[in-house]
Amino acid sequence: DAKTTQPPSMDCAEGRAANLPCNHSTISGNEYVYWYRQIHSQGPQYIIHGLKNNETNEMASLIITEDRKSSTLILPHATLRDTAVYYCIVREPTGNQFYFGTGTSLTVIP
Amino acid sequence: GAVVSQHPSRVICKSGTSVKIECRSLDFQATTMFWYRQFPKQSLMLMATSNEGSKATYEQGVEKDKFLINHASLTLSTLTVTSAHPEDSSFYICSVVGASGNTIYFGEGSWLTVV
């Protein structure tokens, strides 16, 4: 079962930062937080992952709270192509199965 | 470029027939692959874990005799939907663990429509 909860939908103005929250209050110490997004009718696309430190790559930044019970994915300058469903997933270190929650449908508005 | 390839991307079949969907790992060998199903406006649901050279492991509630999985090589897993019915119409997606073990890559998905 999914260990994460996310708001069902969010809007963001084009060019502004999109901040997508995720709660994972039951996460254990060795479980990673992964973020994927799915554009309509396509397979999920990897965005970023982290354990406890904040992470940044060319796509986004991941901020994980000190207690690791929640995290935020930040898209620094949202574009219309960032409109998608964003999934936050907790991954066990020895497991490669992903149990998806309902995700957040992000709409970037011109 | 793509790491995981699925074929076909779209298929329509008649009710009662069987249809096979292929998932190929393009860049590395994969002893394990995963199959998901996604109904419209819903999230992805893990169906089964495909293990090279051994039987697949199915999630609770997934009929193993209906969704046959074969992982005959380190780069290919197939999902066969047997005796398909309209309620099997869905988006089927596979995934593969990357060579580093840190990233999981998904295929582009296969749309199945049973008429």
A17-67: pLDDT as tens digits: 999 999 999 998 889 999 999 998 899 999 999 999 899 999 999 999 999
CA closest to B35 among chain A residues? A97
Do the beta carbons of residue B26 and residue B2 sit within 8 Å? yes
Cα–Cα distance for residue pair B97/B84, rounded to 1 Å? 29
The band of B100, judged by pLDDT with boundaries at 50, 70 and 90, is confident
Chain B CA closest to residue A104: B43
CA distances from B44 to A1, A30, A36, A87, B51 (A): 12, 24, 12, 10, 20
Among residues A48, A41, A54, the alpha carbon closest in space to that of A87 is found at: A48
Fill in the amino acid letter for A94: T
Task: Return the pLDDT at B10.
Answer: 97
The three-class DSSP label of residue A107 is: strand
pLDDT for the residue B98: 81
Interface of B with A in 19-78 (CB under 8 A): 32, 34, 36, 43-46, 49
Compute the distance between CA of residue B84 and CA of residue B12 in angstroms, rounded to an integer.
Answer: 11
Determine the distance from the C-alpha atom of residue A77 to the mean position of all C-alpha atoms in its chain, rounded to a whole number. 16
pLDDT at residue number B1: 64
| CA-based nearest residue to B63, from B87, B42, B39, B30 | B87
The sign of the CA dihedral A99, A9, A60, A23 is negative
pLDDT tens track for A82-100: 999 999 999 887 777 888 8
> What is the distance between the alpha carbons of residues B91 and B100, in angstroms, rounded to a whole number?
28
